[in-house]
Amino acid sequence: MAFPAGFGWGAATAAYQVEGGWDADGKGPSVWDTFTHQGGERVFKNQTGDVACGSYTLWEEDLKCIKQLGLTHYRFSLSWSRLLPDGTTGFINQKGIDYYNKIIDDLLTNGVVPIVTLYHFDLPQALEDQGGWLSEAIIETFDKYARFCFSTFGDRVKQWITINEANIFALVAYELGIFPPGIPHFGTGGYQAAHNLIKAHARSWHSYDSLFRKEQKGMVSLSLFASWVEPADPNSVSDQEAAKRAMAFHLDFFAKPIFIDGDYPKVVKSQIASMSKKQGYPSSRLPEFTEEEKKMIKGTADFFAVQYYTTRLVKYQENEKGEPSFLQDVEIDFFPDPSWKNIDWVYVVPWGIRKLLKYIKDTYNNPVIYITENGFPQRDPPSLDDTQRWEYFRQTFQELFKAIQLDKVNLQGYCAWSLLDNFEWNSGYSSRFGLFHVDFEDPARPRVPYTSAKEYAKIIQNNGLEANP
């Protein structure tokens, strides 16, 4: 079961989740520094990313892990406030540039392609203080940051992700307030943030296109989180419609404007408009793009980057309460099939990834697709011999193989989440997604491969699965 020649085998990390060095060498505070330092049990046991995996000083150890796996690609993110402490190019932190230059140069020396994310949830606190992603001012600030990164690193980086999981980020940070700044804005905040995230992405894509592409010849996209959904009752029309709405609200909400026509899905616009009207709002709670903005947004991705973890069943649930909220607007209830195995929120449904890839192929004109995250957690304390977890990975690779061979999906790369056990946002260190175990009690933060890492290395070496495992 060999994958196509040149298929990319990778693993991913993100700056706040692994680097530590939260105030080292001139780094400015990010919203996650502020949020975790405030305590209040918003993160498991009030844990922080102050040290995390210590990758800011232990990059050499991470590189050993990457080489041990034989990765062809490594995805990591830049800490905006490590490079630009107040978020603007008014002051540039050379130590931050040096750190990322070393990572990029070491990867290339070892034949590993860097996939670099500009923004993975860690906004400079100085920009949050000015309104963060709820403020239109962020669009230009992000574009300037993106240009700075393209001009500083783009001679060597050829695959860029502007914003990580923009769709889930808008929801958890500005609608639900689970992520910093930690203030919920039900029914409005997620939509306002999404509107600005889409425009910021599009602006930075155009900057790359007009100023850097000719010389650097790279690719730019954003990554979107997507679960697969199935109607709870396949014979129920209302459940079928609910499943379509679920996809429209969580994936197509971002993908349709960027990949198709510059505007939100019709069902999203009509649902939110009719709910808003019922609730006495003078206009829809979903902002509108101008015709000029639609033209600016349309076609601003060079590949489709998707992050899949799990699948849910969906059924219609009428919004009886009438309260403004994203989940009420969709009018669905979602839940797992009781037969599915799970580790926390990740229900193991490998066939969901194949269906999702087929959906992306059919809906978005057969784009080049990269899976920029996929993985399975272990609860703490984890087992180094994680054979059950490896079985989930193996089943996933079988489904990817079918997607490529049978469904003719143009899948060109896969990144496991994550290279290392790390700070998993609100779950702190209690949820372990790493291919390598990290001992967070040991100041040296030793990295030890799980069985999954050793097995993944074989897959990479063979460019696919053995026919009979």
Of 19, 61, 128, 165, which is the active-site residue?
A: 165
Interhelix angle 387-405/451-462, nearest 10 degrees: 30
175 catalytic per annotation: no
Q: Rounded distance, CA 398 to CA 413, Å?
A: 14
Neighbours of 216 (CB within 10 A): 18
* Other CB atoms within 10 A of residue 94 CB: 10
Q: In 3D, which of 63, 43, 45 has the Cα closest to residue 53?
A: 63
**Strand 332-335 vs strand 311-316: parallel, antiparallel, or unpaired?**
antiparallel
Point out the catalytic residue in the list 128, 175, 373, 455: 373
- Report the C-alpha gap between 90 and 346 in whole angstroms: 42
Beta bridge partners of 449: 436
Query: What is the side-by-side order of every strand in the sheet holding 219-221?
Result: 219-221, 159-163, 113-119, 73-77, 8-12, 411-417, 369-373, 304-307, 223-225
Contact status, residue 258 vs residue 198, Cβ threshold 8 Å: yes
Angle, to 10 degrees, between the axis of helix 137-153 and the axis of helix 189-207? 40
Q: How far, in Å, CA of 283 to CA of 202, rounded?
A: 25
Which residue type, as a one-letter code, is found at position 405? Q
> Alpha carbon of 345 to those of 159, 287, 341, 400, 408: distances in Å?
30, 31, 10, 22, 30
Task: Give the Cα separation of 353 and 396 in Å (integer).
Answer: 7
**Among this protein's residues, is 373 annotated catalytic?**
yes
Q: How far apart are CA 302 and CA 3, in angstroms?
A: 22
**Residues involved in catalysis:** 165, 373
